[in-house]
Amino acid sequence: MSNKPSSKTSATPSKPTDFEEALEKYREHLKRKRLLFTRERIAILEEVMARHDHFSVEELHDSLKAAGKKVSRATLYRNLDSLKEAGILAEVDLGNRHVQYEHVLGHGHHFHLVCEDDGAVVEDSSAEIEKLLEALARKHNLDLTHFKLQIFGTRRRK
């Protein structure tokens, strides 16, 4: 698919980067939904995958501008949903009263711990919890697709 020189030999399609994986995933999603594969959508995807933090729409728009890619705010907003539906982008609630995002690929299910003293955010994951959540979903006759979990706490005094 990609002809970018990713390693010395091109014999085996050596492990694709997260971006390449996302690109392929997005391309398929767009095709399935009969949406066009436009340069703007690719630019947005690139920036989403380039950022490894939590970002607002405004910050993403700034990133794009900084990278020399002109994508209007309207187009940005219009395409966030398809990125979410494609399983590439996820909303994050950090309790700070504005929507933030993070990319999903290369991360897998995880959740956020937020320190209420200073707003610091850490990520973590737990197979044990996931297993419990799946059981809970099943109990209510659901197949778990995803979950959102935020743990809020104050700094522990020893």
Partner DNA sequence: GTTGCTGCAAACCCTTTGCATAGGA
Partner DNA sequence: TCCTATGCAAAGGGTTTGCAGCAAC
Query: Minimum distance between the CB of residue 89 and DNA, rounded to whole angstroms?
Result: 13
Measured from the CB atom, the residue of 82 and 103 that comes closer to DNA is: 82
Number of residues this chain uses to bind a second copy (CB under 8 A): 33
What 3-state DSSP class applies to 9? coil
Residue for token digits 């767009």?
30
Measured CA to CA, the distance from residue 111 to residue 123 in angstroms comes to 6
Single out the residue of 32, 115, 118, 119 in contact with a second copy (rule: CB under 8 A): 115
- CA–CA separation, 65 and 143 (whole Å): 40
Least Å from the CB of residue 38 to DNA:
4
Q: Which of 6, 21, 29, 57 binds DNA (CB under 7 A)?
A: 57
Residues 57-96 that bind a second copy (CB under 8 A): 93, 95
**Between 30 and 137, whose beta carbon lies closer to a second copy?**
137
Q: Identify what 126 binds: DNA, a second copy, none; CB under 5 to 8 Å per kind.
A: a second copy
Select from 70, 107, 131, 138 the one that contacts DNA (CB under 7 A).
70
Least distance to a second copy, CB of residue 108, Å: 16
* d(C-alpha 119, C-alpha 100), whole Å: 14
Q: Considering only CA atoms, which of 72, 119, 116 is closest in space to residue 100?
A: 119
CA distances from 123 to 64, 81, 102, 114, 134 (A): 25, 24, 12, 9, 20
